[in-house]
Amino acid sequence: MLIISACLVGVNCKYNGGNNKNKKIYEIFKEGKVVPVCPEVLGGMDIPRIPCEIKSFSNKRRVINKEGKDQTQKFKRGAEKTLKIAKSIGAKKAIMKSRSPSCGFGKIYDGNFSNTLIKGNGITAELLNKNGIEIITENDLKK
């Protein structure tokens, strides 16, 4: 079983109320071997919601929305719930939405809402990876 970012299979859970449906990932989903999750919704975020990015302050990573409100606790809660789901289904791999402050892996936005990418991982992707779950993004499927 796999964990997949729910927005990649067409669930309208993206910050703006839309989705990031990916045809290849949707085909995997239709095989019934995946569990779609949206860590941000699991953590208590609304749909739609104000965009968030990860910003570093004195070596501490905080998830801040575009209005300056700290949403870190909701992101951590969603990550923990996602890890619990992954463990309950025996997931060894996750396909996550690239660049997301929750699901991004390898590159995320810099925290300034400038569309600038930096090296880093989203809160959920980082937690899953630290717990032995292999993370790939939709971009890795194109390779």
Confidence of residue 58 (pLDDT cuts 50, 70, 90): confident
Q: What percent of the chain has pLDDT over 90?
A: 94
Q: What is the mean pLDDT of residues 46-72?
A: 95
Interior/surface letters 96-125, b for 16+ CB within 10 angstroms, e for the rest: bbbbbbbbbbbbbbbbeeeeeeeebbbbbb
The per-residue pLDDT for range 23-33, each reduced to its tens digit, is 999 999 999 98
CA 7 to each of CA 18, 40, 94, 118: distance values in angstroms, whole numbers, following the listed order: 8, 11, 13, 22
DSSP 8-state class, residue 9? G
Answer yes or no: is pLDDT of 71 > 60: yes
Identify the burial level of 133 via C-beta atoms within 10 angstroms of its C-beta, where 0-12 means exposed, 13-18 middle and 19 or more buried.
Answer: buried
Answer yes or no: is pLDDT of 74 > 90: yes
H/E segment holding residue 63: strand 60-65
The per-residue pLDDT for range 75-113, each reduced to its tens digit, is 999 999 999 999 999 999 999 999 999 999 999 999 999
Give residues with Cβ within 8 angstroms of 71, minimum separation 6.
45, 52, 63, 64, 65
Answer yes or no: is pLDDT of 143 > 80: no
Answer yes or no: is pLDDT of 115 > 90: yes
Confidence of residue 59 (pLDDT cuts 50, 70, 90): confident
The rounded mean pLDDT for the chain is 96
Answer yes or no: pTM beyond 0.85.
Answer: yes
